[in-house]
Structure 1
């Protein structure tokens, strides 16, 4: 027979375990969402890329542009991006560091833009950027509210995006 204290302790253990499992599932879902960007962009699938964002989501990739909402984000992929894809461009994103807080989250990672150089039979890194992702749970699924992408070209602004990782202590 269990005492009241034993049942309370067991309930607390189960609740703590459930919370840990939910956090792990959230981190995995966000990691998978971020990982979808490169293949979807390289495929030129504008709808799949736009679907990574919330309806009102923002993608800032200076100096190239700022797109708000599914239509403009899809248009970025469906437009001039297609020519670069056909010329041998690839998006490679590193696994993100993810911090979840209920139905919101932040993530940070690097992104590399690789380009094919047929004349020299090699790929080269055309761009390396810092990324900060702000996400929220929408209808039970994680979506990007805002992605800020800045060239790591020595400017303080790009490195400052990673200050969020240092401040989390995680």
Structure 2
């Protein structure tokens, strides 16, 4: 193999590895973003929770509440309903999402569990299990949530369909 061929092969290898590292970093950054949601809302940190979204991001908690923009998300976390939940003991646990990155946008799906404390029994119980679909965008601040749709897995076909692999 000539020196020119070796240099071409090296460049190709470096370009391939660079693309793979970027893809892995995108996946990791998005997973870290999702992982921050539960601790933010369970600690009552409305600004931290809202900061996970784009300025005009949407959080649709079907059928209870649709939040548009960071101010709505801050309002939900600081609102009496949510504050009552966290002061009685609860946890929002999100599973690692399946992520499909396409340039500066990504989509995904995952589960979320809402756990509540039962002081009389001295234990937590699963209050809600939901399907989530996500749309993320790369911004100047890194990856942010552009849209999250959360629907209870109550046996109805809509929430189940949210979890189906793309193209099925």
Q: TM-score range by the shorter chain?
A: over 0.9
Query: Deviation per CA, 1:101-159, whole angstroms, max 9, x where unpaired?
Result: 11001121111000111112111111000111100001150000000001001111101
**Residue 111 of structure 2 corresponds to residue 118 of structure 1:** no
In structure 2, runs of 5+ residues without a counterpart are: none
Query: Deviation per CA, 1:71-128, whole angstroms, max 9, x where unpaired?
Result: 0111011102111100111101111111111100112111100011111211111100
- What is the match of residue 160 of structure 2? 159
Alignment CA distance shift 1:136-1:162 (3 Å): same
Aligned pairs (5 A) from 1:12-31: 12-31=12-31
In structure 1, runs of 5+ residues without a counterpart are: none
- What is the match of residue 108 of structure 1? 109
Report the number of matched residues.
167
**Residue 41 of structure 2 corresponds to residue 41 of structure 1:** yes
Aligned pairs (5 A) from 1:54-65: 54-65=54-65
Aligned pairs (5 A) from 1:78-97: 78-79=78-79, 80-97=81-98
Shift >4 Å, 4+ stretches:
none
Report the more deviating stretch, 98-107 or 51-60. 98-107
- What is the match of residue 127 of structure 1? 128
Give 1:68 shift.
Answer: 0.5
TM-score w.r.t. structure 1 length? Answer: 0.94
Say which SS state the counterpart of residue 142 (structure 1) adopts: strand
Q: How many angstroms apart in 2 are the aligned matches of 1:91 and 1:168? A: 29
| CA RMSD, Structure 1 to Structure 2 (Å) | 1.6
